[in-house]
Structure 1
Amino acid sequence: MSDVQLRTAPLRSGRWQLPLAVFALITPRHDNAALVLSSISVTIHEPRLFERRICLPPTHKHSCMEDTPNIPAVIGASPEDTVTRESLYEQAWSTPMTKIAERYGVSSSYLARVFTHLNIPRPAVGYWAKVAAGKRKATPPLPEVQPGALLAWSRNGAPEQISRTPPKSPAKIRTRSPDRMAVLPRRHPLLVDVEEYFKKAQETDEGYLRPSKRSMADLIVSRSGVNQAVDFANQLFLALMKKGLAVALSDPTTHMGRESVDHREVASNRYVHPAVWRPQRPTVVYVGTVVFGLSIYEISEYVHVKRPEKKYVRLTALPVSKRRSDYPDRWMMSADMPSSRLCLQVYSPYHSVEWIQRWTENKPGDLASKIPGIVTSLLAEAPILAGKVEIERIRSEQERQRHQLQMEEWRRKEDEKRRLKVIQDSRDRLETVIQTWAKVNSIQAFFEDIVQNAQRLETQERQAVLDRLAKAMELIGDLDALKHFEAWNPPKI
């Protein structure tokens, strides 16, 4: 995380109300928290500089801005950069939350959000008063960590710890006991304050929201459909949790795929501009070792529209006086507009494994009544999808082995080609040496014959011939054939 600090002018002494903006658990993989706005009072006894810290996680375009005074007592810091769920759980049931918050230098409301995101049960309001009166209640157990969920509270830029190993598929899915059911949150951690991101989201021309945050639950809705979609998603996720099934963002190291969303009610060949929002990672549910992808989107209807102020508006939403066509031939513009009806798309996130199923609303709000059937269907389809994944795994393994054999055969042929080329190159060089030797012998025989013939000449004439022969031999150069042979290397096979 990189921090950019901008300093303002010194503040005068006195008591100030300072807004504190805190993002809970903003991390590259699990950043489902929302902006918490509160107010703190700080008495300034002497002029101090205040700083604005802009936190920029490496994988996010948008992050938190935190206005905090440059005072150690307010900032607070703990030497622990990573605090495990187990440690926080033990502290929560042995020490009041305010004391724990003081230890880590955060507010109690911030710490409460940490507990919510880590799925750690904590004492209710008034618990410690009852303990002081001798009315201590049984401590609820710490829930098992869900696949893809955080294992610890990572502080001060420490690397986050994520559960990466899905649980083994049980022989039979059993309903949680009453004690375990009591620890289910009111809001699933993946959906905590998700509405805040939609409030600040931009809209497409048709009205679908595009939040700047991408590491969040897979919801594609209009502004009017946010509450309905989040409420349904929460009911579905909690129903799955009740069955012991974990819902989370996919582990980035597994490279799960996401099925594209076509929100049109009726399939069409009309081109759809890919302007709808898509998450950074799929939302998935773990049924044992089997993973299903989940997308919730608002169905669109192809209706007549007008476009005042660069946004499409349903013709039926306009006053009657403004519904007439603006064109001489009475042509009316049409667009795919959100219908307030939801669709749940469940799909296979495994590459090359095709499986998809959808549940749609006939009227707004009736999808929640289908949740029990959806959960039952997922439990029934898990073995089927697992079988398809296994078939694809076997096919991929066979393809890999076939490719490996082909590569080995190709490498063998290439090695043989290189071996033959080395032999041929060595043969060519040897033939060159032999040709050089033959040429050297021919030249030497020529010079020796001249010397023999020169012996029969007169002294003066013989000397002239030998002088010319010396110049010729100097011109030809070295005639040692052995040197040429020593320069040749036999092939290394």
Structure 2
Amino acid sequence: MEGTCASRAEQVRLGMMTVETGVVTREELYDLVWTIPMTKVADKFQVSSSYLARVCTALRVPRPERGYWAKLAVGKAAKAPSLPEPRPGDQMAWSRKDGLPTPPATKPHPATEPRARAPRPIHRVTGTHSLILGAKELFLAGREVKESEHLKPYKKLLVDVTASNTGIDKALGFANDLFNALESAGYRVVIAPPDAKLRRESVYEKEEPTRKGHKHDPYGYSRLWSPQRPTVVYIDALAFGLSIVEMTKSVAVRYVNGKYVRESEYVAPKASRRHVDHTWTSTHDLPSGRLRLVVYAPQWNVSWSTTFQETKTHSPASDIPRIIKTLKSSIATVTEKLAEAKRQAGIRQQEWLAAEKRRRQEEDQRREAQSIKDSRDELEQVIQAWVRAFSLEQFFQGIEDRATALPEADRQAVFLRVGLAREFVGTHNPLDIFLGWKAPLERYVPLAQRNEVDDSGDGDNSAQE
């Protein structure tokens, strides 16, 4: 019993250290909620117990039921369930700055479930996906935009959909169908966890490329809304980014009474002598109502993407089976790119280490040469000071020797003047000047000599500045 208490005390101590850092892992949170009551854990994180319960649900951390601590006090509490193994896309840590994690799309596995990897579901997932649920209201409750512009919601932790006011229903509907189809195939669709360190591909909304051969305008500036973190699907353990955008098309518009209207919708007033048409036409990029899906590798060191684009005769929903097939067939390509990127990163790391070693060696040689130069210069100054001190001493001593042959009054006058001169120039002990001099090794110890001392284990080998 004492060992159990000591173990719990150690868990609490480590847990409190976690609270101080502001970041808690799944394992640490699991230890905390099964060691001390949820209310006390929540107080340490400065959140409510209900908020912390939602964090546990999102991180798939089982927590004690009501009455657990009372039962534990009388020895009737059930054994704590084990922590489920993480799945691809699960958030592995939480901090207050991350906010409330996105809850899992499916119910967490029961605590009694074996840790072996669950088989892919064979049933068809229907209904509203968790990322789509309530998303429309959040998109509409955003910054004020013109009728022909894409929506710009205030909330940044949203599904990666970019559409206009008139196209948001279609875009979210397609996203929901795609996500459900992916979930039905056994692939998780989530907003990337904050600790996954995944990037979002830049979105190009124009239906036609601006320059031949360029899918993305390298010189353009996008004013589109972008989410805080990408929306990803995990094909096994590999993440693919998903971004849906309502494309824009170059359309002729006419400026009428302070706003632009499509030329096709403009009705000119009847001609009359009194009426003068003060309108003019130009070309603007307006939402076309057609969608583009960008599938990409969200890893920072990999460049890979493909697009599925709606046309007037081809709906995006009909592409869903081909999208899933493309994702599955692209695993090998992206995995190979990741391996190559890792290899290149290793090469760059070795090159950096070699360059850093050269820099240290060059700096070591420079400082060693500087220490020698400084010692030589200072020694010359010591020699000059020594010669000057002895010259002055010989000068004053010679005057005093000459004065001994003078009459008493004259001799005292000379000694008085010598005293004034000595006081004026000051007294310097040449030995003190020499003892203040530093040899090169007292200024800086070269790396080679420091390493020799390290190997022999003699004393402190820190560099002397």
User: TM-score band (shorter)?
Assistant: 0.5 to 0.7
TM superposition shift of 1:296: 0.9
| 2:296 equivalent to 1:347 | yes
Q: Deviations over 1:136-188 (max 9, x none)?
A: xxxxxxx9975445799999x9975989xxxxxxxxx98523xxx26x35111
1:390 to 339, 349, 353: 339
SS in 2 for 1:342: strand
Q: How does 1:43-442 map to 2 (within 5 A)?
A: 81-82=52-53, 84-85=56-57, 147-148=88-89, 160=101, 176-177=121-122, 181=123, 184-201=125-142, 202-204=144-146, 206-268=148-210, 274-308=222-256, 312-319=260-267, 332-363=281-312, 366-442=315-391
One-letter amino acid of the structure 2 residue matched with residue 240 of structure 1? L
Contact kept in structure 2, 1:314 and 1:337, CA below 8 Å? no
Contact kept in structure 2, 1:247 and 1:285, CA below 8 Å? yes
1:482 to 431, 435, 446: 431
Identity of aligned residues (%): 32
One-letter amino acid of the structure 1 residue matched with residue 135 of structure 2? V
TM superposition shift of 1:380: 0.5
Aligned to 1:3: none
SS in 2 for 1:362: coil
Which stretch shows the higher mean deviation, 82-91 or 301-310? 82-91
Closer, same or farther: CA 469–254 of 1 in aligned 2, 3 Å: same
TM superposition shift of 1:404: 2.1
Aligned to 1:46: none
Closer, same or farther: CA 240–320 of 1 in aligned 2, 3 Å: farther
Which stretch shows the higher mean deviation, 311-320 or 211-220? 311-320
TM, length-normalised to structure 1: 0.61
SS in 2 for 1:210: coil
State how far apart, in whole Å, the 1-side matches of 2:291 and 2:236 are.
27
One-letter amino acid of the structure 2 residue matched with residue 286 of structure 1? Y
State how far apart, in whole Å, the 2-side matches of 1:344 and 1:231 are.
13
SS in 2 for 1:222: coil
Contact kept in structure 2, 1:204 and 1:276, CA below 8 Å? no
Aligned-pair Cα RMSD in Å: 4.0
Q: Deviations over 1:79-108 (max 9, x none)?
A: 7942644788998xxx9xxxxxxxxxxxxx
Q: Deviations over 1:240-288 (max 9, x none)?
A: 1122211111222333222222221111269866332221211111122
Q: Deviations over 1:354-413 (max 9, x none)?
A: 212111112277211111111001110121011112212211221122112212221222
Higher strand share: 1
TM superposition shift of 1:453: 3.4
SS in 1 for 2:166: helix
Higher helix share: 2
TM, length-normalised to structure 2: 0.65
Q: Deviations over 1:299-352 (max 9, x none)?
A: 2221112345765432223446599xx877x85222112222111111222224
State how far apart, in whole Å, the 2-side matches of 1:352 and 1:311 are.
44
Which stretch shows the higher mean deviation, 242-251 or 373-382? 242-251
One-letter amino acid of the structure 1 residue matched with residue 366 of structure 2? K
TM superposition shift of 1:224: 2.2
Aligned to 1:113: none
State how far apart, in whole Å, the 2-side matches of 1:191 and 1:161 are.
12
State how far apart, in whole Å, the 1-side matches of 2:392 and 2:62 are.
97
Contact kept in structure 2, 1:294 and 1:347, CA below 8 Å? yes
State how far apart, in whole Å, the 1-side matches of 2:422 and 2:129 are.
99
One-letter amino acid of the structure 2 residue matched with residue 194 of structure 1? A
Contact kept in structure 2, 1:342 and 1:364, CA below 8 Å? no
TM superposition shift of 1:290: 2.1
One-letter amino acid of the structure 1 residue matched with residue 356 of structure 2? M
State how far apart, in whole Å, the 1-side matches of 2:227 and 2:296 are.
15
Q: What is the number of residues matched between the two proteins?
A: 351
Aligned to 1:40: none
Contact kept in structure 1, 2:89 and 2:234, CA below 8 Å? no
One-letter amino acid of the structure 2 residue matched with residue 187 of structure 1? T
One-letter amino acid of the structure 2 residue matched with residue 421 of structure 1? Q
